[in-house]
Amino acid sequence: MKKNIESKLSSSELFPDLEADRKYFFLVLWILSLISYLYRALVALNFWTYKKGFKKVTTLSVPVVSVGNLTVGGTGKTPILIYLTNLMNLGGRRVGIVSRNYKSAVRSIVKVEPGSESDISDGQRFGDEPLLIFQQTGVPVYVGPVKLETAKEIVRTEKIDTVFIDDGFQHLALKKNCNILLCDVTQMDESNHLLPRGRYREPFEGYKKANIIFWTKTNFVPASHLAELKKMVSFKGIQVDWKFELTKVDFPGFANLNFDVRQRLLNPGKNEFSAIRRFVLVSAIARPEYFKKIVSDLNPKCELIEKKFRDHHQYSKDDLKVILNKPINFHHFLTTEKDYTKLKDIWPVDIPLGIVKWEPRPNMDDQKLYETITSFIH
């Protein structure tokens, strides 16, 4: 990449605790860079073994669509996967979804069935993202430690004609009919460092494996910046831009506080939500800064306090004490849909917790998007 990218994180943002001591900062940076080069070599070796046939690639009896990233977390994959699944369902496809049991309590292949265990919350049992996907699509969702084996199980057990692999771009053991790559335009920088130095799981050139590229969060950068990013790829396939727009804020048990963006456009007068000036933001997501930005854009005059946890964190009652420890004049809390799947079972019923809901919006109409994807799986 030839030009500096505005979204590139500074060293102080990457390593705030080390920035005070430059000597240790550069030492750690050097070590991380060395590990990144070793990681790059392992990625290349793994790809080569599949390409040369030393490792087997399995073909399922139904078409496979992968939705994944080059980078770790925060690209908007889960809401887009939900959008695509519902789109396929409307078109008559019978979709099943395979996800990994990351940070979930189960260690074997299980079907996401809320309420099947009484001694553990659904969010802890299945993981936040698989649970949210099931809640918003209703299709069979299976989680397990190995995607290939989980995919075999869902095909064997369910009456489906299409498998979606959640976060499957780096999964080479399974033949994919359609490989969809999500590129978060706010994460792409000039260095493209691999883990652990940077956010990339594989070299940037890995985009060439994709059949379709989704550019996500395009409404968070200038159009000129997006154009520069697209010049970085020599890609002749389909490219779709996705905006992420806030649609509503729901307060379970406090309907008077509910806020609908579309209703505000039709009726611009104040409601109880718009009168609130202080919020505590609670999140365990990969990019909490964009959660904050969405809320700030809704009302720039709001005072915000953040209670942030690591991505996919499973909330405990001790965490709840930390969350509720806030200034006395902050009475309202906001969280994401993903976080609410884990908070709802421990949240006090007398404290307002709003669920901020945003939706992905493609720059391609639904019929054309459906036809584009299904053209790879017929």
d(CA 67, CA 173): 15
Q: What is the pLDDT of residue 155?
A: 98
pLDDT confidence tier of residue 1, bands split at 50, 70 and 90: very low
Nearest to 281 by CA among 339, 206, 350, 242: 339
Helix (H) or strand (E) run with residue 59 in it: none
Q: Are strands 110-111 and 141-144 parallel, antiparallel or unpaired?
A: antiparallel
75-79, 154-158, 300-304: lowest mean pLDDT where?
300-304
Taking residues 143-171, what's their average pLDDT? 97
What domains lie within the chain, and their CATH numbers?
64-94+161-243+362-374 (no CATH), 252-351 (3.40.50)
pLDDT confidence tier of residue 261, bands split at 50, 70 and 90: confident
Percent of residues, the chain, with pLDDT higher than 70? 91
Main-chain dihedrals φ then ψ at residue 299, nearest 5 degrees: -150, 95
d(CA 176, CA 53): 16
Angle formed by the axes of helices 366-374 and 77-90, nearest 10°: 90
For 35-93, what is each residue's pLDDT tens digit?
Answer: 999 999 999 999 999 999 999 999 999 999 999 999 988 899 999 999 999 999 999 99
For 188-231, what is each residue's pLDDT tens digit?
Answer: 865 788 999 988 999 999 999 999 999 999 999 999 999 999 99
**For the ranges 112-116, 157-161, 293-297, 299-303, the one whose mean pLDDT is highest:** 157-161
d(CA 182, CA 287): 15
**pTM exceeds cut of 0.85:** yes
Torsion of CA 252, 258, 262, 263, to 10 degrees: 130
